[in-house]
Structure 1
């Protein structure tokens, strides 16, 4: 109890210290404005939100806009090696990187693939590429060679930035599909050797110091990054996100989280352990870029190892924790976790997948946490909206809360396509705002499927709202399987399974899993006179897909995959039967 009281006094002092400094009025969360349903010019009925203002500037310029107030504060730190950069050093480094990338022959508008775990240099590579006038496609560093090759080709990558720990796989993918002259840049993460012929990442910074400054013609509505997402259906697609998309969403989040986030001053700096992968939009824009822009210290953890994660929490004196449901479940269930690991935490935000109130209660009850000391909030978003669309205010843990300032929302009846204005009635969730993607890369057909002519994004998620206008996700129209926040398209796994010489047909569904949210379960029709076991199928997939796409839900052998007259797999029947 004494610890809670002391920490409460500490937090109050920090708040009072921050309150005497003028905080940009555009960031003030005007929660007093109640959500309303209004009628639009085209007759649509949508949920109103507060207006939001944001500067029309490029992402990298926005990130460094206020660092004169805290140039010597640490911006980026590796939780493993201790390597760190202050805000001033990080800004300079990104400028040098941009110059060097142009100097080695890359042209403005070229796409660079960023394939690395969470390191400070990974962020520098992203922002440095933007400062050089390039576009970045972040990639999962744990992809297989085949998975990497597909994204490199679809994104038309002209250069690679990777790290020593995954350099061999990345190099194999690069050689398999790109020109031998493709610049191959490697971050020395001290885990292995740098392949011969590659460019050491540190050299970009060293050489850039002596190169002249560069200018770009990139504008606010140009594409900044192309993360890949499965969208509402089908195989992974490149999501074209502009500088406007990213900057506006950062400001939208800040507007509704400013009561949780304490501004950086001479006496206080938020410390955020960064375990969420940087290649995922949540980790990229929802956490790292949004918090750097307001002076937080980011402590990077390249891979989740329980002991390492907890050690970083304690030693860094972490104050603000962004996580996904499996991490919340780990904190509440693992005997390794002690109250000392959460001693300085004042806010926990969970996203990427739904979390039940009972899961949050379990964590709070474990340590007898006062919700006034540690506030819990849940958010909702997707790659196509630059990360975040809804945030819950800490009162209804099972809800995704209300639409962010600047984000309009609609509920549309799936059958009638009429707007829903009655609490408790389910419909497809549509959203609109400056954070909505430009479209899918080189895929006009898929873009038209999810973006209406007046720019409403059809999320494919089923939701309802209650009398307080808080929203709840109840299911998905789309058939994607969401494993630990990652989207796994059944069509991708089915195509691979059908490539097995002894498999005639296959179907994949997601089944509930206590730790991962969902996991893939396969249904197999064997070729005549062939004998396969569950292990045969699982081992076949092991070398072809990443760990979160593995068939952890098991394998069932059938005589026939149930389909409708048009040949579409009846996944609901599979779920009901099995």
Structure 2
């Protein structure tokens, strides 16, 4: 389920949902501290409340992003770190309006789904906001998926149009033709890598045509679905996560309240400059970085793919002031001889997310360049696709912790067996979260929604955690079976289903094993078919080309006689990990 998008974001202070604001008579105060409030519910719930309440505007996401641009219309909003294409805030807002008009003009109707599958470019961000301005819903897709992987998401989301880029247009087109009607509009961003397929609509034409079209009005409210990213549940294959305008706007304000002091306000003479290296299709890159920082006037410099020299060149040229990253990037900065102090000289804030990061990892970076913690503030965040991005924030003091619940929300820790709330520090249970940032549910999957959301809208994260004496939370394990490779989620069931199609494979189980650079990598356990003797290379090569690079079996392959399962047939992955340490 949850894309553990560990995130960091922004500033301000306000409040959220009426249930937190009023906390009516069903709750009685149990204790109070300067950072966490704890209340008891009428049924014995022990509820951790955020340090601060927040408020957020009842508005649509795209309107929220552009709300304050009158204060900085000529500042750069989006710039491509590769080819230098850029938009000011005024130009970006106008462009999104034109895009929305053109999309409706080519036949899309309010509430239709549009698939956005492109690397990080300024036009990728404009494509999303422009689609929203036209009253459409956007499903974001991994641009490095294979055609087969893309097809699976397209079949579930059933988009009425596609926006992609020239570099991956052929793969995206193959997926589109395989499962969508032939008349589906196919829109291509010119990323200067080659020509676009015949019959495609150039993305720039949406902006040009839209200038002469009438403005679009929509009936959408803040409770309408805005985006449909995909995430896996505690088990099984990816599902469409329905996130509303309210979910996303509230979460931006929630994280702004927690992280905002790490950023300086935009003025006539100052602007935060942030390399957008976190993939935009990922909720962290989309809401946790791009939209949240655009809403407060930052300059976003997009990088379509992590290439060390390119990343460092962009950091230096744009004089990056803040950095959002994942643990492998922190490890790269601390270990690579390519990284010099000149790349970090303007940085005052680093936020890490998507996977845990230890204190020693941060210390290596700070010690390498003799950085004082008062010079560069380091923060971590924890979140899920289902929480619209940020759910917990850590203030740079306990790097092994996820910190405290994000402002304007609440959390519980529930014993898995008894379903009773845990009251003792150090005792583990499943982390539950509630607030206006919690998803509406999974698209066309009522069973998965009911298994994840309680009737009173508590989100069961599938993460095992405990809290300490300071009410800081720590994740110890995942009930979910997702493998986290460089922050990206790999559902074991997806790889197992593919492996079972190998003619020499009878059964397969996949687990994640620790990896120094990637966090985790997939490892397969194979029961060979009777009379067959496949090799490790046979199995590894079978997956190549069928899945993205990060899903390949870099953890190796072990052949065993039987896959351990429980009475109901569920694979005992922890037993596999424990018995076959590699």
Larger displacement relative to structure 2 (198-207 or 525-534): 525-534
Deviation string 1:106-136 (CA, Å, 9 cap, x unpaired) is 0000000000000000000000000000000
Q: Which deviations, in whole Å up to 9, do the C-alpha atoms of 1:414-455 show, x marking residues without a partner?
A: 111111121111111100000000000000000000100010
1:213 is aligned to 2:186 = no
Aligned to 1:116: 118
CA distance in 2, matches of 1:567, 1:108: 44
Residue by residue, what CA displacement relative to the aligned partner does 1:432-487 show, whole Å, maximum 9, x if unpaired? 00000000000000000010001000001111111111111111111111111111
Flag the 1:25–1:551 CA change in 2: closer, same or farther, 3 A: closer
CA distance, structure 1, for counterparts of residue 533 and residue 399 of structure 2: 48
Report the more deviating stretch, 440-449 or 477-486. 477-486
Counterpart in the other structure of 1:285: 287
The corresponding residue for 1:36 is: 37
Where does 1:323-334 land on structure 2 (aligned, <5 Å)?
Answer: 323-334=325-336
**Cα deviation, residue 531, structure 1:** 2.2
Please point out which of 363, 385, 388 is paired with 2:387.
385
| Secondary structure in structure 2 of the residue aligned to 1:431 | strand
> Residues 40-95 of structure 1, C-alpha deviation per residue, up to 9 Å, x if partnerless?
24431110112210000000000000000000000000000010000000000000
Distance in structure 2 (CA, Å) of the matches to 1:125 and 1:476: 35
* Shift of residue 397, structure 1, vs aligned partner: 1.4
SS at match of 1:512: strand
Aligned with residue 140 of structure 1, among 142, 150, 156: 142
Report the counterpart of residue 7 of structure 1 in structure 2.
none
Shift of 1:525: 1.0
Q: Is this contact kept in 2: 1:349–1:377, CA < 8 A?
A: yes
Alignment of 1:311-460 (within 5 A): 311-460=313-462
User: Does the alignment pair 1:69 with 2:62?
Assistant: no
Q: What is the match of residue 512 of structure 2?
A: 510
Please tell me the root mean square deviation across aligned C-alpha atoms, in Å: 1.4
Residue matched to 2:48: 47
Write the distance in 1 (CA, Å) between the matches of 2:35 and 2:365.
31
Q: Structure 1, residues 520-566: CA drift from partner, whole Å, max 9, x if none?
A: 00011111121211111111101111111100000011122122232
- Structure 1 stretches of at least 4 aligned residues deviating more than 3 Å after TM superposition: 23-27
TM-score by length of 1: 0.94
Paired with 2:483 and 2:563, the residues of 1 have a C-alpha distance of: 19
Quote the residue 1:6 is aligned against. Answer: none
Is the contact between residue 231 and residue 384 of structure 1 (CA under 8 Å) also seen in structure 2?
no
- CA distance change for structure 1 residues 228 and 410 in 2, over 3 Å: closer, same or farther? same
Gaps of 5+ in 2: 1-10, 16-31
Give distance in 2, aligned partners of 1:46 and 1:179. 49
Partners in 1 of 2:42 and 2:227 — Cα distance?
32
Question: Which residue among 484, 490, 493 is the counterpart of 2:492?
Answer: 490
Counterpart Cα distance in 1 of 2:499 and 2:114: 31
Selected match of 2:464 from 459, 462, 470: 462
- In the alignment, the residues of structure 2 paired with residue 85 and residue 78 of structure 1 have an alpha-carbon distance, to the nearest angstrom, of 9
User: How many residues are treated as equivalent by the alignment?
Assistant: 554
Change in Cα spacing, 1:36 to 1:484, as seen in structure 2 (3 Å) is same
- Alignment check: 8 A CA contact 2:355 2:484 kept: yes
Cα deviation for residue 24 of structure 1 reads: 6.5
Between the two structures, name the one with larger relative contact order (CA 8 Å, sep ≥ 6). 2
How many Å separate the matches in 1 of 2:226 and 2:157? 13
Cα contact 1:53–1:251 (8 A) shared by 2: yes
* Structure 1: runs of 5+ lacking an equivalent: 1-22
Alpha-carbon distance between aligned partners in 1 of 2:305 and 2:484, rounded to the nearest angstrom: 20
DSSP 3-state at the match of 1:510 = strand
Q: Residue in 1 aligned with 2:99? A: 97
Q: Render the CA deviation track for 1:155-197: whole Å, top value 9, x for unaligned.
A: 0110000000000000000000000000000000001110000
Q: CA deviation at 1:37?
A: 1.7
> How far, CA to CA, are the matches of 1:206 and 1:470 in structure 2?
51
The residue number in structure 2 matching 1:12 is: none
Q: Which residue of 2 aligns with 1:552?
A: 554
CA contact under 8 A between 2:44 and 2:421: conserved in structure 1? no
